[in-house]
Structure 1
């Protein structure tokens, strides 16, 4: 089973994300901030990270940079999931190593589409 680390300071976003990802067949872990996310990644690198931008203690961009610089940091597919909508900021995240970007609010179809585009989810036959 593929693993996903959901990193967001909002308990509601973590809960919604967990439900979507578990319904898609992922094993899900949660982190409420960047420091907790890095501790989790140091212990076990997930297959995918759903990452918020603005969080206390360490923002998502710093988490992304640290993950990519760490041992095994090339493994996870990183999907930024943020309310940040300015194209310059989105470009900054992608240039820093994010694989995809989702703008909040989002739903299961959006998450599934991004996971499919990254090869992490098989398209289900109708």
Structure 2
């Protein structure tokens, strides 16, 4: 293995991969490079939370693509679109994948990924990718450009074919027109309903299966939210794993009527 000539002691890293052994391999390599800080996340949802919590200590995100319920491209899109609270849009992001799919590469480049690596990751490739990424800052496009870039479906067998991968869901976009004066009150009512009963609170310890993307007006009472819902400022409103009651769905329908957003959500059921 490469000698410890690389010094990343002034840099913090976030490793995002749904396979623990791969997170461990990358972490070991970064430790050999004397990385100053290392955080780990097992999927895109955890990555978004980690960034919102302490992005000031993270200089580079090493992110796998093939994860659920939020994949790596969605994390990248959320960063570039400014959807994650307290996280700079030009944060360095290097994508990791098990295969060099042309559509995936083009989408990652369109979303301004700083780098791209095909697994298995070697020490030499990792250092080269990180050094190149740090040396080439991103020239950011307008937020709406990133939001308009098409999704890439996860490989067959990864999740339900009916579940289209989208970025973490955000209420009101910059294209949504004027925000109603009573919007704050409406958001508070949604929060209150979500926490009124224990059964409606987010349960992130349970697997959500049977994923499907549905129009918000067609979602039946009792379905489980399978993606986080944020305000446009990056604050978490409803977490993945929240059971959607009739009252919650009604409030969400009400609050999206005045928005230009396509009102669809990824929902599912708790695994027995």
Instruction: State the TM-score, normalized to the length of structure 2.
Output: 0.42
Residues 86-125 of structure 1 aligned to structure 2 (within 5 Å) = 86-119=101-134
Q: Spell out, residue by residue over 1:67-115, the C-alpha distance to the aligned partner (whole angstroms, 9 max, x if none).
A: 2222433242100011131222111111112110000111111000111
1:81 aligns with 2:100: no
Displacement of 1:119 after TM fit? 3.2
1:124 alignment counterpart: none
2: CA distance, partners of 1:34 / 1:119? 22
Displacement of 1:48 after TM fit? 0.1
1:69 aligns with 2:81: yes
Larger radius of gyration: 2
1:43 corresponds, among 46, 53, 61, to: 53
2: CA distance, partners of 1:75 / 1:92? 17
1:5 aligns with 2:14: yes
The worse-fitting range, judged by mean Cα deviation, of 98-107 and 86-95 is 86-95
Give the RMSD, CA atoms, in angstroms.
1.4
What are structure 1's unaligned runs of at least 5 residues? 121-126
1:28 alignment counterpart: 38
Q: Which runs of 4+ in 1 moved over 3 A?
A: none
Instruction: State the TM-score, normalized to the length of structure 1.
Output: 0.88
- Paired residues, number: 120
What are structure 2's unaligned runs of at least 5 residues? 1-9, 136-272
